[in-house]
Amino acid sequence: MQNNKPCEIYEKLGISAGVYDYGQRILEQLRPRFDEIDARAEYNQQKVLSAMQKNRLSATHFAATTGYGYNDAGRDCLERIYADTFHTEAALVRPQITCGTHALATALSANLRPGDELLSPVGRPYDTLEEVIGIRPSPCSLAEYGVGYREVALLPDGSFDYDGIAAAINERTALVTIQRSKGYATRPTFSVKQIGELIAFIKARKPGVKVMVDNCYGEFVDTVEPSDVGADMTVGSLIKNPGGGLAPIGGYICGTTECVERCAYRLSAPGLGQEVGANLGLLPALFQGFFLAPTVVASALKGAIFAANMYEPLGFPVVPDSREERHDIIQAVSLGSAERMVAFCRGIQSAAPVDSYVTPIPWAMPGYDSEVIMAAGAFIQGSSIELSADGPIRPPYAVYFQGGLTFYNAKLGVLASLQKMLDAGLVSLPDADAVEK
Ligand SMILES: *Cc1c(COP(=O)(O)O)cnc(C)c1O
């Protein structure tokens, strides 16, 4: 068989030799980092495998249940596998949890009672939680049920304001929420180690307080999870990291039996708890997605690092920067203009396996004060473990890039984003020498 040159297939995909070569030069420098990511993925793969073996996963666990879903052995097995992987007493992993916000809202409302106060020691939480908490008034918010809220902003350098946190903890403080990922904010994402230090500090001041960590986009980035460093509940979405791109819906809450049982009562009904909830035939995707998640997360991480290293030498601010250690899969690139954002997102869209022929345009999305552009061509709608990019059209004109079920797909996305900007005359490539560091 004749050997094809890799650049030929890229040329067919619309990537010029100049962009391809620039990418290859960048990639050469990234081998040691990719090796580190592979080593972490290998550890996490064995962690998941060992949980599957310990719980004697078998084909009988793939059977669909309907109706009430009593005695659903597959569902129970999946929850034990999550609990063992996260090293927690219990887990609630359900397709009935519709998204990450739903999982977080369930964890909060199940473990806060009227008169209690919720504390966020890491500043304002993710947008959608503002209505859950009642920071923005909303029917059925925690505020409506008499749960108070307090937050302590991060210090200007992005670190924890320990004095402020100590002062904010009071007799009403019942639950502390810590968001690991920066989400769409400009603060740094926290390492599991930092989260552990914060939890220890808080529990030293108030031992009975519960701590929930919003782990969205963080799963399997490190070899430890927030549940390994004292979180009572670790919460996330199955259409992000732990679903491995295969889970079509779902959320998880891993934690203490006490907290998780309450979550189950809140999700279904008091008295019913975890005993109900048919799996509707989704379990094979949930098991297999969890099995694949460590390597899928590794691919997404490599894509994010590749993007940072491609765009930083071109003069665009990138967060995290090209060398920093990663604690989630999100890459922000500040492009400085609306035109570049649009071109970037068109490139990402053109690299997708689904809807690659679609042209993303900025639109006025409900709940945002500026137009938003999004690129996503995903097998699962809204899945952001799949290759995607988005951002509000306003200074600093930053796009948030994430996902890629395979590194090669993410690589094509990054190359195509640069190609589209180049074609529109919005950027120029450095000389070969300038790339060397
Ligand atoms: C995605 C995300 C959420 C909410 O998840 P949805 O599935 O979109 O509801 C919450 N917190 C963080 C940090 C996230 O990234």
What was the pLDDT predicted at 3?
A: 73
Task: State phi, psi for 327 to the nearest 5 degrees.
Answer: -125, 0
Round to whole Å and give the CA distance between 435 and 315. Answer: 12
Q: How confident is the model at residue 364 (pLDDT cuts 50, 70, 90)?
A: confident
Q: How confident is the model at residue 48 (pLDDT cuts 50, 70, 90)?
A: very high
Could you tell me the distance, in angstroms and rounded to a whole number, from the CA of residue 381 to the centre of ligand 1? 14
Question: In sequence order, what DSSP letters do the residues of 252-313 get, joined into one string?
Answer: EEEE-HHHHHHHHHHHS-TTTGGG----TT-HHHHHHHHHHHHHHHHHHHHHHHHHHHHHGG
Task: State phi, psi for 184 to the nearest 5 degrees.
Answer: -105, 30
Round to whole Å and give the CA distance between 62 and 159. Answer: 45
Residues within 6 Å of ligand 1 by CB: 99-101, 126, 128, 179, 181, 183, 214, 216-217, 237
User: Regarding beta strands 117-120 and 173-179, do their DSSP bridges make them parallel or antiparallel, or are they unpaired?
Assistant: parallel
pLDDT digits (tens, 9 = 90+) for 418-433: 999 999 999 999 876 5
Q: How confident is the model at residue 186 (pLDDT cuts 50, 70, 90)?
A: confident
Could you tell me the distance, in angstroms and rounded to a whole number, from the CA of residue 245 to the centre of ligand 1? 16
Could you tell me the distance, in angstroms and rounded to a whole number, from the CA of residue 400 to the centre of ligand 1? 14
What was the pLDDT predicted at 437?
A: 45
**Global pTM?**
0.95
**Ligand 1: residue whose CA is nearest its atom 5:** 100
Could you tell me the distance, in angstroms and rounded to a whole number, from the CA of residue 240 to the centre of ligand 1? 9
Q: How confident is the model at residue 325 (pLDDT cuts 50, 70, 90)?
A: very high
Atom of ligand 1 nearest to the CA of 239: 7
Question: In sequence order, what DSSP letters do the residues of 174-191 get, joined into one string?
Answer: EEEEEE-S-TTSSSPPPP
Round to whole Å and give the CA distance between 261 and 267. Answer: 10
Which of 126, 235, 386 to mutate for ligand 1's pocket (most ligand atoms within 8 Å of CB)? 126
Q: How confident is the model at residue 367 (pLDDT cuts 50, 70, 90)?
A: low
Distances in Å between the Cα of 295 and the Cα atoms of 42, 243, 339, 406, 423 are 8, 12, 34, 8, 33
Q: How confident is the model at residue 96 (pLDDT cuts 50, 70, 90)?
A: very high
Q: How confident is the model at residue 55 (pLDDT cuts 50, 70, 90)?
A: very high
**Ligand 1: residue whose CA is nearest its atom 6:** 100
Could you tell me the distance, in angstroms and rounded to a whole number, from the CA of residue 336 to the centre of ligand 1? 26
Structure tokens at 233: 């509940």
Average pLDDT, the chain: 95
Helix (H) or strand (E) holding 201: helix 192-205
Which of 195, 216, 388 to mutate for ligand 1's pocket (most ligand atoms within 8 Å of CB)? 216
pLDDT digits (tens, 9 = 90+) for 100-150: 999 999 999 999 999 999 999 999 999 889 999 999 999 999 999 999 999
**Amino acid in the structure at residue 23:** G
- 385 pLDDT exceeds 80? yes
Q: What is the mean pLDDT of residues 257-267?
A: 98
- 185 pLDDT exceeds 90? no
